[in-house]
Amino acid sequence: MKVKILKPGILSTVQDLGRNFYRAQGIPSAGAMDSLSMRLANLSLANAIDAAVIEITYADVLLEAETDLLIAYSGGGSILYASDQVLPDNRPLFVPAGQNLAFRHHSSGSRTYLAIAGGWDVPIVLGSKSTYITGRFGGLMGRALKKQDSLKNANNLTTSTLRLLSHLKSTKISFPNWSIDKEHFMPLDKRMIRIVPGKEFTWFRADSLLNFLSASYTLSRDCNRMGYRFEGPLLQRSSQIELLSTAVAPGTVQVTHDGSLVLLMSDGQTTGGYPRIAQIAQVDLPLCGQLKPGDSIQFSAISRIEAEKLYMNRENELKKLAVALNMII
């Protein structure tokens, strides 16, 4: 299976779940900004849950099916069209050779994940296929996709994927009448982001902490795969203790010298010198991956134990989904 990039959009890269074992060497994790949508796209095809996908930022992407395709997409950044036909998300889609596929903007999010049967075939670098543009490695030659690039699938289709392909194969676009209910895996209030207080949480004045946990923060235009800067109440410290550079991770919320909030994301650095006021609960980090400039959020504090429980509950639900899909495919 093979596609040609006719129009790459603002930023389209190959990503998987990232390279998480080299942070001690200063190498960021990279990987999908919204790992939940990435995994749901893969589950729709009975792929390995960590198979490489194309992460599309916003939209305006046009692809050509150079061969017959079995694909799926998930996320909030765009809707997939074939000519004027809207193709549904979170389910497998058979697309015959020669068909053009257009991702057009949808206001509910910022990123869309395109999976293909078997995953996209790019080299593994340090245990991952994820693109890290700053380091110029991973993905397709360490860069964003561009016009005239061709990508093919990896030749390791599961038995379930082969059954799915056999069932849907046709001379026209086809898909089943079932889909994954993404909302089942997401909180009701997608603008309330749960956090665990960070190591330096108590470095801030009581009134600033109250603002942090009650005020709205708006994502500025200063945002990318490395991190987000938010506009909102400035936080003041209760002391002028300085922090030596220390470990940070995707989801770390730091407070800069002027009191503004910075949230580190997938391509964020591995160490930082700003106080860490909070860590986004892992279960809510995919919600942050779908934010776009102008979106407002609030923070809600939970315990580390509660954050772990929420994460494990979602992981168990995803495992149940994988079992259920294998039964119906």
Q: Tell me the pLDDT tens digit for each residue of 234-253.
A: 999 998 888 889 999 999 99
The pLDDT of residue 239: 83
In the chain, where does the domain assigned CATH 2.40.100.10 lie?
Answer: 192-312
Instruction: Note the pLDDT tens digit of each residue in 112-162.
Output: 999 999 999 999 999 999 999 999 999 999 999 999 999 999 988 999 999
Over range 24-35, report the average pLDDT.
97
Per-residue pLDDT at 241: 85
Global pTM value: 0.96
**Distances from the Cα of 47 to the Cαs of 27, 31, 225, in angstroms?**
27, 17, 25
CB-neighbour burial class of residue 9 (10 A; exposed 0-12, middle 13-18, buried 19+): buried
Please report the pLDDT score of residue 221 as a whole number. 97
pLDDT tens digits, 108-121? 899 999 999 999 99
pLDDT the model gives residue 155 = 86
Matching CATH number, 192-312, of 3.40.640.10, 3.40.50.880, 1.20.1050.10, 2.40.100.10? 2.40.100.10
- Show Cβ contacts of residue 280 under 8 Å, excluding neighbours closer than 6 positions: 193, 194, 195, 251, 252, 253, 263, 288
Q: Helix, strand, or coil here: 16? A: coil
Structure confidence by residue, pLDDT tens digits, 275-325? 999 999 999 999 999 999 999 999 999 999 999 999 999 999 999 999 999
Give the SS3 label for residue 306.
Answer: helix
| Structure tokens that stand for 31 in this block | 């990987």
Question: What percent of the chain lies above the pLDDT cut of 90?
Answer: 91
Exposed/middle/buried for 282, CB within 10 Å: 0-12, 13-18, 19+? buried
CA 169 to chain centre: 29
